[in-house]
Structures are given as C-alpha cells and as structure tokens.
Structure 1
Amino acid sequence: MTPQGLKAAASLHWFHWLVVSLSLLLTLAAWYISKTQTEEKLQQRFEFQSQQLLDLISERMSRYEDALRAGVAAINAQKGADVNMWKRFSETLHIHKSYPGINGIGVIYYISPNKLNNYLLKERELRPGYIIHPPHNKNEYWPITYVEPVINNEKAIGLDMAFESNRYQAALKARDLNVPQITAPIVLVQDSKQTPGFLQYVPFYNSEDIGTVEKRRKHFIGHVYAPFIMYKLMEGALAQKHRQLLFSVHDNNDVLYNELTSDNPYYDAQPLYQKTVSIDMYGRPWRFSIQTAHAFREGADTYQSTFILLGGIVIDSLLLFLFIALARSNKKAIEIAIQMTQKLSISEIAPCGILIINQKGIIEIANPHTVTLFGYSQEELEGKSIKQLIPQGLYEGQGNDHPQSADSQNTDNLSTDNQANNIELPFWDSIEHQTQSNKEVVCETQNGNLFPAEIGIAPFKHGEGSKFLATIFDMSSHVEMTNELKRSNKELNDFAYIASHDLKAPLRGIMQLSAWIAEDIEEIATEETKHNLTLLQNRTSRLEKLLDDLLAYSRLGRDLGKLQQVDIEFMVTSIFDLLDPPKGFKLVIQNEMPVFESLLVPLEVIFRNLISNAIKHHHKSEGTITISVADQAQEYEFSVCDDGPGINPKLHDRAFELFKTLKPRDEVEGSGMGLAFVKKMLKQHKSNIRIVSDGESGTCFIFTWPKKLTDV
C-alpha cells in the first residue's frame, strides 16, 4: 500500500463523520427542546403566579367590600346607627383577624347645611366633644361619624370628606353611581408614617327607588367606608417572604406601593421575567409592574438543557475518539500486514534453502542460502545427515535411526508402487505422501538455535537410482508477523467492544432524559414538540443500534458455531413467527425445503434479514412472503420473494452497501447494515446473492449456499 493509502486508512471515513454528525444533531435537538420547554414552563409559571397575585388582591378587595355591605345591611336593619351600635357591629366582624390589612370600618353621613345642628346635637348626646373638621368652603358636610376601632382611627372621627378633593370626588362618584368606589392615593390622618393609602366607599340610601342619578341624590344617606394604608394592606394580603414575585402599584403617576427597590433583600436586579398590567380597581386605574424575585430564579431549573448539551458533547467526543483510535489501529494492522507481505515477497524472490539428498538421507549438495540459514560452511553441509539439520518434527515417532539401504532393491522404475513403498526414509511415511504436501518442522542451526521452517520434498531419477530435492523456507518472520497481527487484531476487537459498550450508557441517558421531559410536558406541550421528542428518541435508539451493528459487522464470521443438522422449513417458520409480522402477512413455503448439515448461525441471519426486510419495507398492511429452493449440483439456490413495491433496478447494487437504506430513516427504522451482513456472510462461503425486481411489483432475493462446507 502506498503512503497515501496508509494515510487514507488512518483517516476517518464518511460514515464515521455521519455517525458523529448524527450524534451532534441529536445533542443539539435535545438541548433545543429542553431549553425551549424550560423557558415555556418558566414563562407559564410566571404568568400563573402573576395572575394569582392579581386575583388575590382583587379577591381581598372584594372581601373588604363584603364587610362594608354588611355594615350597610346592619344600618338598614336597625333603621339607623349610633356609636354603640356600630361598636357592637365592628366587634362581631373581628376585622383585624377576618380582614387583615384593613385599618378600620366606619360610617360617613351626608349632612346638608339645614340639618347640621340637629346632627351635631344628636351625636353629642353620647359624645359631647364630637366636632366636624377641618373647615372648608363647600356648602355641605360629609363627616366620618363612626369608625372602629377607635384606638387606631381617633384622628379620623369627625373628619369631613369635603375638605379634600380625592376623598370628596370618590364619595360623590359612589353616591351618583351606586357602585363601590375607592379614592385616588391619599395620606390618612391616622397614619403617623404618612405613607400612601386610600378609602373605599359603599353608599346606602333610604329608599329602593334609586334608578336615576336624581333619585340616588335625593335618597342618599351616606357611606359605609374603610380606610387602608397601602403597605399594611399588602402585608396582610401578600406576605412577601411567601412570594416569588415582586411588584409595584401606581394610580396614574402616583405611587401606591413599591417593592421594586434595590434595598429589598428579595429584589432581583436582572429578573427572568417582568410585565406591566393595568386593572380597574373600584373606579381607579391601578397599574401593576410585576417581576420575578430571587426565589423564582432559585426555584427555576435552568441548568437541565446545559447538562444535556454538555453530556451530548462528551458523547460526541467519545465517538470521535473511538473512531480515531479505530482508524489508527487499522493503520497499524495494515502496516504489519504490509511488512509481512514484503518479507514473504523477499523470501519468494530470494533463494530458499535447497538440498539434494540421497536415499540414506545424506546431503550431497547444498545451495548458498542453506549455508546462510544453518551457519555451516558448504563443505560442512555436504555429507551431513538431514537429521542433524532437522532434529524435530519429521523424525517424531519414527522407529528407525538410519535409513535402510536400497542398493539391493530394484530401482529401475521408481514410479512403481512396490519401489516407492520399499524406500524407507525416517522423515516421511511414503514418497507419494511427501510429494503432495509440505511439512512444518523445527530446524537447528550450527550454534544450537532453533527456528520454524517449512520443508518440501520431491523425488527425481538419477541414473539407476533416485534422489530427493528438498526446499527449506525459514518461517520465523511469518510466525512473528502472524502472532503480532493476531495480538493487534485482538486488541482492536477488545477496544471496539469496550468502547461501544461505554458509549451506550450516555445514549441510554439521553433516552431516559427525553422520556422524563416527555412526561413532564405531556399536558402543556404542543403536538410539534411531542413529535420532535419522538424523533429524538427514535434517532437516539437508531444510533445505539448502529453501534451494535458496527460491532457485529466487525466480528462477522469469527465464531459461526459448529456444523449441525439444519431444517430450513422449521428455521424460516420460526423466524417468521418471532418477527411477529402484522396480521395481514403470511408465509408460503413453495416446495420441500432441504434438511442438511451446515452452519446454523449464518443461515439464520441471512433468512431473518431477508424476511424482516420484506415485512418492514412492504407498502401495505398485508402481504405474502414466498420461500422456495432449487437443488443444484454443489449448492442450494434459495429465493425469498415478496409482493411489495419492488426495488428500482438502478438501486440493486446500492442495496448491499453499508449504511444504505432505500427509504428515509424516519419512515423505516434500521441501520442500513442488514443486507451488508448477508452479502458478507455469503461471500465468506463463496456464495452469492442477487436481486430480481422490476421496481414496480415485488422483489426476490436469490442466494446460493453450499451443500457441504469446506471452510469451517
């Protein structure tokens, strides 16, 4: 082989790059799917928690509204209220336990100027110091008459809503619409920290006939109200330590509440997700800015896709390392084979040891190469007994130490059987036997060194007697090269076997991981995502099968079992049943199948691949597979035919190539090695296979198999 050929043998071939590329594509697909699914899950989780937060605030405000409406119902039931009645009502509500975040609950009456004195006289009966404050320029009064608990809201008693625009406008709007309202942001007089808050109003009337604004104004009595300090409301409704989201609330441009500050220990300066949502909160536009907190990031499994990518890269690296190592081992084996071939070639070109021996086994003539082989001089060799050069091998088991003389025998015609049988040399059984084959012997040099050799002996006539020509070939290099090649081949096989098995573990890891992903996203994944996951699992499984098939192909023919009786009909029937074909398929054995002594394993592999292909590549859910045999002189000719779609004649040769499939791999699962197996097995036994098909209706695979195997 040329240096260019050796370089090519040590380089990676196209199918190596195909496997690595397929593995890389699988890795990228798994990474992309995992990354996409993780992002979708996190996005959905953020959206769910955001909506949950908004719903919780809305639900809490609805509960406060219910408490205010309960106050309205109590006032209507008592046909009015006084300070003692309102205190009893408040105590029954247990507002700080049942309504955390509320600052109190009270009653605001609407007082026209002409009723102001009567109102003050009535309220001062139980509270002599009661006053309305502060002064303002409105011609009406909206004082907070009762509020509980008093201890937290004492400064608010008597406070007139008409003194301040936000309180006053919301009170008017609630009265005219008969709908609960809240004020724009205000600072409650009872809030020592002067933080943002608001009031919630629920109006009540002295008549049910309030269908128009005029009637509502006419029959309006007042509001049941609740004051709220915003940060207390949020602490009671949404404890921050229990949340994975932070938010702020704006009413137009006014800040009501804000957790999005750098001094907040839960704040994430680079949130994973954020959004802004505006909702109508009892007549006011509340704008929520929501974003993820540190807790959300800590609970997000964002490393899964990274692990998949790194794992896939490791697998690709292992594959590349395996193929490079195999290519280098292949180069080494080729170099050893070349060296052995060159040495054998030199032995053939150079003179071998040539001796002329008489019937007594005495060397009469020796050529120069014999001198080189044994270390004797020309004179020392001539006259020696062949036994001195070949002390082992040929003499093993011989009873005579010296050849008997043949001078007294008739040697006129050496070709006669009697004369041949009368020649009794100690290093062969008969002339006839020795002239038909060479013998492996052990030779001894002058200095006592032993070396393996092969000797061939042929008789020839010489005058009235006979002599023998002996050729001696030194087999030392051959034995050394053969042993080295066997060792190298064993190392290569062991390496391929171990590497292929080590690669299966991460492949199975990808299969398991993709199965877990499929389970996790079963309810939320799109059909396209599920399809991509199925492709990922199928192609990972195909890569594992490809590794198995590559290993099996490299070992093909090394251990095919022993000769045994093979019943072809029983074999093909069993194979068909084990393949578990669709119910519409049937097997037809057209004539009587032979029973003969052969190797079971290769025949079983051949029939299984051909029958499996006939089922797998059929274009219908039902079909017929026909097995037949023709008895020829030295071999059987078997046919495996189907009624499938056929194979285009242009593709007949391609069908037997490694890694070739005639359909897309996502339509028919397979490594493309089945027919390559079949062809290699048949070639080992000097058999052949061919395809008969017009490419339109049906395919026949016809192969021969010897009746008697001589190469086992």
Structure 2
Amino acid sequence: MTTSPDLQNGYHYRAKLVKAGRLQSAHWAILGLSILLTIIAWQFSRQQLEQKIEERFNREAAHVIELVKERMTLYERFLWGAVALNDVNNKLDNNEWKTYADSLNLGKTYPGIHGIGIIYNIQANGLDEYLREQRINRPEYNIHPFQEKYEYWPITYIEPLATNFKAVGLDVSFESNRYNGIKKSRDSGLAKLTGPIALVQGNKNNTGFLFYAPFYRGGNQYNTIAERQENIIGVSYAPFIMHKLITAVLSDNNQLTSLKITDQGVSLYDDENHQARNKIDAEPLFTTDIDAEFYGRVWTFHITSNIDFRKGAETSQPYYILLGGIIIDLLILAMFLFLAKANRQALVYADRVTDELNEKTICLKKSNEDLEQFAYVASHDLVSPLNAIQKLISWIKEDCIEILPETTKTHLSLLESRTQRMINLLKDLLDYSRVGRVDFDAELLQIKPLTNDIFALLDHNTNTSLTVNDAKLIFPRVPFEIIMRNLISNAIKHHDKEKINLEVTLKELPNYYQICVQDDGPGIPPELTNKALEMFQTLQPRDKVEGSGMGLSLIVKIIEHYRGKLSIESDGIRGTKVIILLPIPNNTVG
C-alpha cells in the first residue's frame, strides 16, 4: 500500500510541529546571547563607573596638592613683603618689627603660619656690636646655643612673641637642616624651605620647617653666589608646624582623601596622628604617591581615599542594569515557552483531524479560531506590557530627567526606541501572518490616482517627487495598496539625499502585469538583494532607519500568494529598481 503525497506531506509537517513544540538549540542560543549581552552591559557599566570614580579621586588628589601650593605661594609673597620693609628701613628695632607684625593680623590673614621673624647674618668680628645694639631695648637678649664660629644667624625678631619666645636669639646655624636651607636661600636669592625640623617653639612631636626669603645690601640685584654671600644682610623667615599648616589649608574643604607627607622619607604630616583619623579607610579604594617640588624641597604626598569618598562612590546603577537585563532575558524565555506551548497546542488540534471530511472541517475551523486567538494574544497580551513599559519610561523622564546622569538618559532613550521597535515588529508579524487567510476580489484599478493617494498619506518632505504612468490593471485593491505603500515607504526611508525622485510604471506583458518602482537612493549591492527579501533584515543600522525589517518579506509573501514574482535590480551604488510580475486573470472585470 502506497502512501499518497498529501499524506506524506502531512506526516512531514506533523514532525515539524512536534519539533517546534520544544525549545530548540536556536532558542537557547538566542537566550544565551541575551544573557551574555546583559553581563557585558553590566560589566561595561561597572567599569565605566569605576573609571569615573578613579578620575574623581585623581582630581581630589591633585586639588589637595594645588591647595598647598597656593597657600605656600601666599606665604612667599608675605615673606617678600617683610624683605621690602627691611629694604626701606635698613635697620629695624624690636618695636618697629612688632608694629609691622601686628598690622599683618597673622592668625586671620595667614592661617597656618606660626610666626614671622627676621634673622640677621652676623660675622664673628661684628658679634659684640650686634649684641650691644640688641641689648639696648632687650637687656636679656643672647644668642643660643652659643659656639665659637666665623658667622652666626640669630633669630633677632619674631612675632607673635608669646608663642615663639623660645626662638628669640636662636642661632639657626647650629643645626644642619636650618643652616643648609638658609645658605640655599642666600646663595640663590630665592625663597627656600628647610628640611624637616623639630621647632623649639613646640614639643618634639611638632614636626615642621622654616621658610626663608633673603635680603641684601642695595636690594636683590646680584648675579653671582660670591656677590650674594658678600652682601647678604639676613633673611625674613616664617616657622611652620606642619599639622597646623595642613589643617589650615584643608579646613574649608570637605576632604574625601587621607594624607601623608614626607620629605626624603622623613614624615612631615600624617592624618592618622590628627583630627582626620576617624575618616581613614583601612582598605582604601584608591591610593597614589605624588612628588611635588616646594622651594628647593621635594615633598612626597601619599594620598588615599577615605571613608567619605567610599560612601560617595557607592551606587547601584550597574546592578539596576543587570536587573533590567535579567528581566528582559526572562521575558524572552517566557515568549519562547509561550510560542512552544502554542505550537504544541496546534499539534494537539491537528492530531484531532480524522479521515472524515466533516471532522476535518470542524478541526480546521477550530484551528482557525485558535490562530485568531493567537493573533489576539500577540497583539494584546504582548503589546500591552510593551505599552506599559513605554509609559513607565515617560513617567521616569517626567519625574527624574533633571537628576539622572547623562548615561542613564541615554539608556532610557535606547530602551524607549527598542520597545517601540518591538511593537512595530509585532504589528508587522501580524500583517505577515494574515496574508492568504482572507481572499479579496479583483477589481479594475487606475494605478496613477491610487498610487498618488498612497504617496500623499506617507511621511515625506517637499523635495520628494513621484511620477506614475497612466495605466490600469485587474488586481485586488487591498493587497495592491499594501505592496505599493511598503515599496514607496522603503524608498523614502532609506534615501540618503534631501531631494528624492521616485517613478512607478506599469505595462502589460504576455500573461503578466509588470510593475516597476524606481528610486535614485543608495543602491543595494547585488550580493545582498536576496538577504533584503528575508524577514527581519535591514541593510542599515536599526537605530539609523526605523523599521522591522519585514516590509519586503511581506510584499514577497503577498505576491507569491497571488502567484507572482519579485526581483531587484541595482548596481549597488546609486538607484534601485523593484520589478513585480503579477498574473493577468483570465476573466475580465467591467
């Protein structure tokens, strides 16, 4: 007993339905790719965020150093002001210096400075005369620690005296850091810092430094070291306790970093020893070491992010992206399961078909009803959540657009366009699925007015022109309108010029109507013409030209349903011609 071809085709079709009722490798591949893209987007967002946080830390670190540099520049100008006073009045007495220092209002104008003073260079042969001059107003004045040497650098005046009285008369040449700093300033004619020292004004833990600015007989006009050494009078100077200086510099700053400063390995300042200890992060997110030159010394700034920086860097944005991607992946899986279930249901309905024609008719009717139900589900149950998502996006924009970062705004716009694209795709899928389910009666169509009406309803600029020859054909009106609307719309959407020229011609061949739609837009490469006719295919990025990629495939299906043919001619550079052949019906329509 032989099996009829129709029955064989039925068995083959049933096997396809059984296979379609299960999730295939392609479904899992799509789902896996979607999960992979979600992870990539999450990782990319996290990396971008980490990069921005690191850039913020680097800005904070650079800002700290810039603040210290600005403050030291201010103090330098302050010292040169004291030098200018000595140039005007070559010999100051203690009362004149006190009057000048009081006028500076050090505590408010120059926060962080410990005092200001004058140190004179005294040669050994002029020591007795120097002491006699100083003891006129200050009988108790003396140089300490006293050692026999060829020159002395005693602190002659310093204010405020109450906090610096131990420094009066101190010969700074007794200690190498103080002495080397003053010699560098003298020999260069520039303001210079000493290395780290323990100030006599404070306790042993008050590490600091001295800041010198030299003055000479006749002003700072000498070009050689020998000339400067011969004509030096002394230096104006300021003592600094390092932790007081840093506290003053950073007091008005909401610091997001912890700071350590060293000079050739010797600690100058450490937040751990001062008021910032409670903000130190035991495991900082970022750390950096920066060397900065300050008036002949190189200070190393060891800067780390602190607790406040960590709090400010905390954000859930990457996890929102991850959660959104997971939700989309679950929706894709749910759609696949739904479609698989629908296929299994269709197979169950098909299994109920019997050899009896009446039962076949009943089953066919039931199947059609189920397909109609499926179309309703696709247009309602799938489109409705997408519409809800678009509404949520609009609410987010209305409520949060002013506070959202630019990257999040971009993500919202992408989500909105992707949702609209899925809605359009579902509508086109429904149109595609309906082809052949409804038969329309053929009628006599005047191609010119009909095509012009279709063109008038499409979105196009005033530079778009359409030429149609005056001809007639016999064909169902609705399918013909769908064909022409999609062809003209595609030509307009994919055009790359402001001025668009379209031409539609109809002529009658033996047994066929030939319809040609010609445009002057970018051509389609010959090797891609077949791909352009496939479902979901676009030759331009979807973000550049909105479309579902189903326009030509819908046209092809309609034409093939009416036993016609479609072909594309293009050189791939400029211009595309779509040629349609439709059978001429045997009967005529009046």
Give the number of equivalent residue pairs: 564
Match of 1:678 among 555, 568, 574: 555
Q: Secondary structure at the match of 2:280?
A: coil
Separation in 2, partners of 1:637, 1:18: 43
**What displacement does 1:569 show?**
3.3
Aligned to 1:316: 329
**What displacement does 1:321 show?**
1.4
Aligned to 1:552: 428
**What displacement does 1:301 show?**
5.4
Separation in 2, partners of 1:540, 1:22: 21
Match of 2:483 among 606, 611, 614: 606
Checking the alignment, whether the CA contact within 8 Å between 2:216 and 2:231 is kept in structure 1 is yes
Deviations 1:402-450 (A, max 9, x none): xxxxxxxxxxxxxxxxxxxxxxxxxxxxxxxxxxxxxxxxxxxxxxxxx
Aligned to 1:238: 250
Q: Secondary structure at the match of 2:279?
A: coil
Aligned to 1:445: none
**What displacement does 1:128 show?**
1.5
Q: Secondary structure at the match of 1:43?
A: helix
**What displacement does 1:306 show?**
3.0
Match of 2:176 among 162, 165, 183: 165
Q: Pick the structure with greater CA Rg.
A: 1
Match of 2:385 among 499, 502, 513: 502
Aligned to 1:131: 142
Aligned to 2:8: none
> Is the aligned partner of 1:589 residue 2:468?
yes
| Distance change >3 Å, CA 252–CA 608, structure 1 → 2 | same
| Distance change >3 Å, CA 567–CA 232, structure 1 → 2 | farther
> Is the aligned partner of 1:252 residue 2:228?
no
Match of 2:287 among 274, 286, 291: 274
Match of 1:702 among 555, 580, 585: 580
Aligned to 1:332: 345
Task: Give the stretch that moved more between structures: 700-709 or 310-319.
Answer: 700-709
Checking the alignment, whether the CA contact within 8 Å between 1:245 and 1:292 is kept in structure 2 is yes
Percent identity for Structure 1 against Structure 2: 35
| Distance change >3 Å, CA 623–CA 205, structure 1 → 2 | same
Aligned to 2:114: 103
| Distance change >3 Å, CA 589–CA 662, structure 1 → 2 | same
> Is the aligned partner of 1:154 residue 2:165?
yes
| CA RMSD in angstroms, aligned pairs only | 4.2
State TM-score, norm by structure 2: 0.82
Aligned to 1:409: none
**What displacement does 1:575 show?**
4.2
Task: Give the stretch that moved more between structures: 235-244 or 258-267.
Answer: 258-267
Q: Secondary structure at the match of 1:210?
A: coil
Highest RCO, 1 vs 2 (Cα 8 Å, sep ≥ 6)? 2
Q: Secondary structure at the match of 1:38?
A: helix
Alignment of 1:3-42 (within 5 A): 4-12=15-23, 20=31, 23=34, 27=38, 30-31=41-42, 33-42=44-53
Whichever residue aligns with residue 70 of structure 1, its letter is: G
| Distance change >3 Å, CA 130–CA 692, structure 1 → 2 | closer
Whichever residue aligns with residue 46 of structure 2, its letter is: K
| Distance change >3 Å, CA 276–CA 608, structure 1 → 2 | same
Checking the alignment, whether the CA contact within 8 Å between 1:623 and 1:643 is kept in structure 2 is yes
Separation in 2, partners of 1:503, 1:277: 53
> Is the aligned partner of 1:122 residue 2:1?
no
Aligned to 2:304: 291
Deviations 1:47-98 (A, max 9, x none): 2222211111011011111111111112222232111111111111111101
Aligned to 2:3: none
**What displacement does 1:300 show?**
2.3
Separation in 2, partners of 1:574, 1:480: 42
Task: Give the stretch that moved more between structures: 164-173 or 574-583.
Answer: 574-583
Q: Secondary structure at the match of 2:153?
A: coil
Aligned to 1:486: 369
**What displacement does 1:17 show?**
6.3
Q: Secondary structure at the match of 1:671?
A: coil
Separation in 1, partners of 2:527, 2:137: 111
Deviations 1:205-243 (A, max 9, x none): 122342221221121111111110000001111138711
**What displacement does 1:196 show?**
1.0
Checking the alignment, whether the CA contact within 8 Å between 1:102 and 1:233 is kept in structure 2 is yes
Q: Secondary structure at the match of 2:483?
A: helix
| Distance change >3 Å, CA 128–CA 704, structure 1 → 2 | same
Task: Give the stretch that moved more between structures: 72-81 or 60-69.
Answer: 72-81
Separation in 1, partners of 2:105, 2:583: 97
Separation in 1, partners of 2:495, 2:81: 77
**What displacement does 1:318 show?**
1.0
Match of 1:690 among 561, 566, 587: 566
> Is the aligned partner of 1:83 residue 2:103?
no
Alignment of 1:412-431 (within 5 A): none
Separation in 1, partners of 2:174, 2:515: 109
Match of 2:519 among 625, 628, 642: 642
Deviations 1:292-331 (A, max 9, x none): 1122222225432332133122212211211221221122
Checking the alignment, whether the CA contact within 8 Å between 1:598 and 1:707 is kept in structure 2 is no
Deviations 1:462-513 (A, max 9, x none): xxxxxxxxxxx6x6x9658845862575256325632344246668989999
**What displacement does 1:628 show?**
2.4
Q: Secondary structure at the match of 2:214?
A: strand
Separation in 2, partners of 1:705, 1:509: 50
Checking the alignment, whether the CA contact within 8 Å between 2:122 and 2:152 is kept in structure 1 is yes
Checking the alignment, whether the CA contact within 8 Å between 1:315 and 1:506 is kept in structure 2 is no
**What displacement does 1:683 show?**
5.2
Separation in 2, partners of 1:14, 1:664: 27
Q: Secondary structure at the match of 1:264?
A: helix
Separation in 2, partners of 1:18, 1:616: 32
**What displacement does 1:587 show?**
1.6
Checking the alignment, whether the CA contact within 8 Å between 1:318 and 1:503 is kept in structure 2 is no
Task: Give the stretch that moved more between structures: 23-32 or 328-337.
Answer: 23-32
Aligned to 1:660: 537
| Distance change >3 Å, CA 675–CA 107, structure 1 → 2 | same
**What displacement does 1:271 show?**
2.3
Checking the alignment, whether the CA contact within 8 Å between 1:337 and 1:485 is kept in structure 2 is no
Whichever residue aligns with residue 230 of structure 1, its letter is: M
Q: Secondary structure at the match of 1:629?
A: strand
Aligned to 1:192: 203
**What displacement does 1:102 show?**
0.5
Alignment of 1:611-630 (within 5 A): 611-617=488-494, 624-630=501-507
Consecutive unaligned residues of structure 1, counting only runs of 5 or more, are: 349-472, 523-532
Checking the alignment, whether the CA contact within 8 Å between 1:154 and 1:190 is kept in structure 2 is yes
| Distance change >3 Å, CA 337–CA 577, structure 1 → 2 | same
Alignment of 1:339-418 (within 5 A): 339=352, 341-342=353-354, 345=355, 347-348=356-357
Separation in 1, partners of 2:253, 2:100: 34
Separation in 2, partners of 1:94, 1:281: 25
Higher helix proportion (structure 1 or 2)? 2
Task: Give the stretch that moved more between structures: 651-660 or 537-546.
Answer: 537-546
Aligned to 1:205: 216
| Distance change >3 Å, CA 41–CA 255, structure 1 → 2 | same
Separation in 2, partners of 1:269, 1:567: 84
| Distance change >3 Å, CA 261–CA 161, structure 1 → 2 | closer
Checking the alignment, whether the CA contact within 8 Å between 1:38 and 1:301 is kept in structure 2 is no
Match of 1:174 among 182, 185, 195: 185
Separation in 2, partners of 1:139, 1:170: 18
Aligned to 2:318: 305
Separation in 2, partners of 1:268, 1:700: 69
Whichever residue aligns with residue 322 of structure 1, its letter is: M
Deviations 1:336-393 (A, max 9, x none): 1331x23xx1x35xxxxxxxxxxxxxxxxxxxxxxxxxxxxxxxxxxxxxxxxxxxxx
**What displacement does 1:175 show?**
0.9
Separation in 2, partners of 1:113, 1:688: 119
Separation in 2, partners of 1:112, 1:314: 86
Separation in 2, partners of 1:644, 1:171: 81
> Is the aligned partner of 1:572 residue 2:451?
yes
